[in-house]
Amino acid sequence: MIRTLTMKFRNHEVKFDTPKVMGILNVTPDSFSDGGQFSELDQAIRQAEEMVKAGATFIDVGGESTRPGACVVSLNEELDRVIPVIEKITNYLDVVVSIDTSKASVMSQAVQSGASMINDVRALRNEGALSAAILAAKDFNVPSCLMHMQGEPQSMQNKPQYHGVVEEVCDFFEQRIEECAKAGLERRYMLIDPGFGFGKTLDHNYQLLKHLHHFNRFNMPVLVGMSRKSMIGNLLKRDINQRLAGNIATATIAATAGVEIIRVHDVAETMDAIKVVNKLRSIE
User: How, if at all, do strands 144-147 and 190-193 pair?
Assistant: parallel
Amino acid 242: pLDDT: 96
Q: What is the mean pLDDT of the chain?
A: 92
The model's pLDDT over 87-123, given as tens digits with 9 standing for 90+, comes to 999 999 999 999 999 999 999 999 999 999 999 999 9
Amino acid 70: pLDDT: 66
The model's pLDDT over 46-65, given as tens digits with 9 standing for 90+, comes to 999 999 999 999 999 999 98
Helix intervals (H) in the chain: 41-54, 75-92, 104-112, 129-140, 165-183, 202-210, 230-236, 244-257, 267-282
What number is the average pLDDT over the span 187-206? 96
Amino acid 39: pLDDT: 54
Amino acid 65: pLDDT: 80
Q: Are 103 and 129 in contact (CB under 8 A)?
A: yes
What number is the average pLDDT over the span 242-253? 98
Amino acid 159: pLDDT: 75
Amino acid 42: pLDDT: 87
Q: Which of 102, 97, 131 is CA-nearest to residue 113? A: 97
Using the predicted structure, report yes or no on whether residue 284 has a pLDDT greater than 90.
Answer: no
User: 148 to each of 120, 224, 244, how far by Cα in Å?
Assistant: 9, 11, 25
Query: Does the predicted TM-score (pTM) go above 0.75?
Result: yes
Q: For helices 165-183 and 202-210, what crossing angle results, to 10°? A: 70
263 catalytic residue (yes or no): yes
The Cα 133–Cα 118 span in angstroms is 7
What number is the average pLDDT over the span 149-158? 66
User: 261 to each of 6, 19, 283, how far by Cα in Å?
Assistant: 12, 6, 23
Using the predicted structure, report yes or no on whether residue 233 has a pLDDT greater than 80.
Answer: yes
Lowest mean pLDDT among 41-45, 158-162, 204-208: 158-162
Q: Which of 263, 275, 279, 281 is catalytic?
A: 263
Confidence label for 32 from pLDDT (cuts 50, 70 and 90):
very low
Amino acid 157: pLDDT: 61
Which distant-in-sequence residues (6+ apart) come within 8 Å of 26 by Cβ? 33, 34, 35, 37, 38, 62, 65
229 catalytic residue (yes or no): yes
139: left (phi over 0), alpha (psi -120 to 50) or beta: alpha
* Domains, the chain: 6-282 (3.20.20.20)
**DSSP-assigned states of every residue in 103-138:** -HHHHHHHHHTT--EEEETTTT-STTHHHHHHHHHH
**DSSP-assigned states of every residue in 71-105:** PP--HHHHHHHHHHHHHHHHHH--SEEEEE---HH
The Cα 282–Cα 284 span in angstroms is 7
What number is the average pLDDT over the span 161-181? 96
The Cα 234–Cα 236 span in angstroms is 6
Question: pLDDT > 90: what percent of the chain?
Answer: 84
Amino acid 36: pLDDT: 46
What number is the average pLDDT over the span 231-258? 97
Q: Which of 81, 103, 229, 243 is catalytic?
A: 229
